[in-house]
Structure 1
Amino acid sequence: MSLGLTALELARIQFAFTVSFHIIFPATSIGLACFLALLEWKWLRTQNPVYKDLFKYWIKIFAVAFGMGVVSGVVMSYQFGTNWSEFSRIAGAVTGPLLTYEVLSAFFLEAGFLGIMLFGWGRVSPKAHFFATLMVAIGTCISMFWILSSNSWMQTPQGFAIENGIIVPTDWWAIVFNPSFPYRFAHMAAAAFLVSSLLVVGTAAWHLLKGRRDELVKKSFSMGLWMVLVTSCLQIFIGDNHGLNTLKHQPVKLAAIEGHWNTNHDHGMPLLLFALPDMENERNNAEIGIPYLGSLILTHSKEGQVTGLKDFAKEDRPNVPIVFWSFRIMVGLGISMVLLSLTALWLRKKGKLYSTSWFHKCAIVMGPTGYIALLAGWITTEVGRQPWVVYGVLRTKDGLSHTVTADQVGLSLILFVLVYTLVFGSGIYYMLKLIKTGPTFIDSTSESEITGLGHFKTPLRPLSAVEDSFDDTTQNPITPANHNKENNHD
């Protein structure tokens, strides 16, 4: 079952698989929780039923994403004790408390108010329900805070001493607010909002392309595009500052990102748009770049010097081709998000935002790009840190469990792939069915309106928060006449 790979290689593949699968669900939950809080606040402020109906639609998708995120996160954490017990033994005095703080301050907050958020509509006052929604949204952000603090400490470790081969914390303020944490936290927060807003935009675009022009679809499309505009432009600023921080604290990672082999002592560094890095011969093939722009971006000087990969020992370099191309995928998709939102502004000004089918097709294609850019960014971060699990302190190979074998890790990896495909594949399929169904207007005079979520019957289990079936009749719901105006304004 070793598949011809070592235990270290298989353990890294297994962790990469589980964490990549996991991250898409918390990112969705973080963004959607804040979107739901905004929708409910807008409803309380305006009493516009469109906001309430959108809330009751998107909370179904949030519930599924949140549930899958919790399950996949629990499974992932067990690997610290099985495949990576040496890492836990050596660095656990720092990472253990940080993850504990996440559970105590965030998970309990989310769990305490999640039931009210999902099942309390009509059972508690509107303000109390909004408070619960707000607490869940804040809880997801607090969870992101502690997870990013722990991971950022592994990237730029501070506030510790080494005693008898064990990492011992000496300054918790320096540990939590390590040098890369503010930039990485802001970068991940913007990424989570982009993931969810593109999901909202893609869903609305699908229904616009199918001919729906009611206020539910149009409002989703408009709000989502505004969020894409704000967060994608903000992400450029955050990413630039994050890059400068990486240049200072992880120069070898930055050199790999740029495919920069030789330190430029007497000339500016170009910004490479395309290259085929060759690690064996320590050079790039088929380079296409813009002269001096790399130095200008990274040092704010046309002739600024940037340390090259050859100045670092070979055993301290990451996999350059992976880091180089994953970064460009992330940046390329980020630029396309900015272009999408700017095009939306132009169409909005012309009054054609809801009637331009080619733009709706582009928005559908862009729907999943938030997830792709998110994964590409994490690949850049994690592969770029190699060969260190705690940068400059603990090598990845030294964090592997001594007793684990390649056959054991290979077998568990195969089982993970099979179970994840079945369980989470079903969950993702269910989310896609909800997306295909789309938001529907709720009859505010019906008794079901005040008794719960979904069809608003009293739920007997958590998954009852979402609908149990998908009738073809819900694909093009009959809506009240006052919601079917064909106007093109917001």
Structure 2
Amino acid sequence: MDISPLQLARIQFTGSASFLAFFLPMTLALAWVLLFFKWRARVTRDPGWTAAYRFWVRVYALAFVLTLAGSVPLLFQLGSLWAGLMDKIGNVAGPLIGYAVLSVFIFKSCFLGVMLFGQRRVSPAVHTFSIFMVAIGQMAAVFWVVVLQSWLETPTGARFFDGRYQVFDWPAVVFNPALGWQLGLFALTSALAAAFLIMGVTAWQALRRPLDHAEKLAFKAAVVLGALAVVLQVPVGVGSARVTALHQPAKAAAVAAYWETGAQPSFTLWGIPDSRQKRTRHDVTVAHGSTLLGQDAITGQFQGLDTYSGMHPPVGPIFFTVRVAVLLAIVMGLTAWVVFLRVRNRGFDPSVLSRASLRGVSLLMFAGSLSGVLHTWIYLFGMQPYAVNGTVTQTEILGPAASGSLALALTSYTALYVLLIVAFLAMLFHAARYGVIPVRKVGRAA
């Protein structure tokens, strides 16, 4: 089966973006969690918080390295796969990418070494300040990336003139209509990635041995963080859906599998979209449930996919991805609150949970990170066939690489990413099994 260069480029870029989306939220939230551990250690003088920091800072370092490893190929692919992109949006994207890189160097590069290796070489106040600056630097870099991502969805503050965008209002570019909701979704996804990672690793440890004080403290912080984040996801998700309906109606129609323009449609909970026959087979619907689709300002009708002449996202991929993401969010929400309610009156000790419950929590160790990957897929699928919503298509910015070269690169990147993930898992579980510093047990031979 022949795959076009456009499809290969999309698959390769989606793979690289997915790898980054798996580790970036984890890294962002762990930086703030580590700051919390450090602050609690200073305020309470409880050595358990210090021990929790010492363990999880090593996991953060692993995730940071893989985040950096994932961001470099993505930047290269912006120039190789989508060779014409910067010619179209360079006036907008250039400064934003520059600010993101500058944020990394100013904040993270200057303080990351102190955070990772300076705990015993600087004062506690300086070390705490370094952790704070690393967390701020991570947030600043992500902010500029999300600005660019959200602007591509809602390109305000710039005009498309003579084949490229010219900026006339930088505040409108930065504070575009989608920015706030995208930042909220990313922050909450990051919180869930860190919370479920800590909960999952601690549950995995509890299945194998009694937990120490530091592990129980980390579990408590993660449970509270996860319970809050899943609640806040609901209003942020609804707000994001409304912005999508307003500025990306074709994406909203694809998510709902709404084929023909007309009166308010029923909302399809589940089904099998058939793009050839323009219908959804074996569908389960809710009557008058598509209020999030939005109505056309002139006709007052809900816009179906038939109004976009084929210039709409692929219905099947985005239809199923959104529903899997919602299902995963429901599972995380139920898990976080069931665990919270069961352990809150027992000192947040995970050992009070049954072994079946601990296995369930450990299996959801990477649920938050997978949620970040699914959100990335929703964004990338929802943008097709455009690179900039409504103006620049992916076809016109596609690079000159042949299918054979793209297929070889895709295979190489896939092998590399699999190797890095396996290495990360091996080091994570080794640390979880043996702790920060393996200590010889009393009575055993040296």
In structure 2, the CA distance between the partners of 1:419 and 1:341, relative to structure 1 (3 Å rule), is closer
What does residue 410 of structure 1 align with?
407
| Residues 123-181 of structure 1: CA deviation (Å, up to 9, x unaligned) | 11101100000011111111110111111111111111233212222211111111111
What does residue 33 of structure 1 align with?
31
In structure 2, the CA distance between the partners of 1:114 and 1:425, relative to structure 1 (3 Å rule), is same
CA distance in 1, matches of 2:414, 2:363: 27
Aligned equivalent of 2:219, options 221, 230, 239: 221
Q: Is the 8 A contact 1:39 1:51 kept in 2?
A: yes
What does residue 165 of structure 1 align with?
163
CA distance in 2, matches of 1:427, 1:364: 16
What does residue 482 of structure 1 align with?
none
What does residue 280 of structure 1 align with?
276
What does residue 74 of structure 2 align with?
76
Q: Is the 8 A contact 2:83 2:398 kept in 1?
A: yes
Offset, 1:16: 0.9
CA distance in 1, matches of 2:265, 2:364: 32
Counterpart residue identity of residue 288, structure 1:
V
Q: Is the 8 A contact 2:114 2:130 kept in 1?
A: yes
What does residue 339 of structure 1 align with?
334
SS in 1 for 2:428: helix
Give structure 1 regions of 4+ aligned residues with deviation exceeding 4 angstroms.
297-300
CA distance in 1, matches of 2:433, 2:305: 48
CA distance in 2, matches of 1:347, 1:340: 11
In structure 2, the CA distance between the partners of 1:349 and 1:21, relative to structure 1 (3 Å rule), is closer
Aligned equivalent of 2:379, options 378, 381, 406: 381
Alignment of 1:326 with 2:321, yes or no, is: yes
Matches within 5 A, 1:465-480: none
Offset, 1:84: 1.3
Q: How many residues align?
A: 435
CA distance in 2, matches of 1:406, 1:128: 53
Counterpart residue identity of residue 416, structure 1:
Y
CA distance in 2, matches of 1:353, 1:73: 36
CA distance in 2, matches of 1:375, 1:421: 15
CA distance in 1, matches of 2:414, 2:294: 43
In structure 2, the CA distance between the partners of 1:181 and 1:347, relative to structure 1 (3 Å rule), is same
Matches within 5 A, 1:227-376: 227-265=225-263, 268-295=264-291, 306-314=302-310, 316-348=311-343, 351=346, 354-357=351-354, 358-376=356-374
Normalising by structure 1, report the TM-score: 0.84
SS in 2 for 1:179: coil
CA distance in 2, matches of 1:406, 1:415: 14
Counterpart residue identity of residue 278, structure 1:
D
In structure 2, the CA distance between the partners of 1:164 and 1:307, relative to structure 1 (3 Å rule), is closer
Offset, 1:338: 1.4
What does residue 134 of structure 1 align with?
132
What does residue 197 of structure 1 align with?
195
What does residue 93 of structure 1 align with?
91
What does residue 62 of structure 2 align with?
64
Normalising by structure 2, report the TM-score: 0.92
The share of aligned pairs that are identical, in percent, is 27
| Residues 99-126 of structure 1: CA deviation (Å, up to 9, x unaligned) | 1011112343111100000011121110
In structure 2, the CA distance between the partners of 1:69 and 1:286, relative to structure 1 (3 Å rule), is same
| Residues 212-258 of structure 1: CA deviation (Å, up to 9, x unaligned) | 14322222222111111000110111001000111111011011111
CA distance in 1, matches of 2:420, 2:118: 28
Counterpart residue identity of residue 206, structure 2:
L
Counterpart residue identity of residue 357, structure 2:
F
Matches within 5 A, 1:392-431: 392-401=390-399, 403-431=400-428
CA distance in 1, matches of 2:425, 2:207: 22
More deviation in 46-55 or 404-413? 404-413
What does residue 467 of structure 1 align with?
none
Task: Give unmatched runs, 5+ long, in structure 1.
Answer: 440-453, 456-470, 479-490
Counterpart residue identity of residue 332, structure 1:
L
Q: Is the 8 A contact 2:246 2:294 kept in 1?
A: no
RMSD: 2.1
Q: Is the 8 A contact 1:218 1:354 kept in 2?
A: no
| Residues 261-313 of structure 1: CA deviation (Å, up to 9, x unaligned) | 23341xx4333221101111111000112223333x6669xxx9632222221
What does residue 109 of structure 1 align with?
107
Task: Give unmatched runs, 5+ long, in structure 2.
Answer: none
CA distance in 1, matches of 2:234, 2:302: 21
CA distance in 1, matches of 2:267, 2:160: 39
Offset, 1:349: 5.0
What does residue 487 of structure 1 align with?
none
SS in 1 for 2:84: helix
CA distance in 2, matches of 1:21, 1:338: 24
In structure 2, the CA distance between the partners of 1:326 and 1:212, relative to structure 1 (3 Å rule), is same
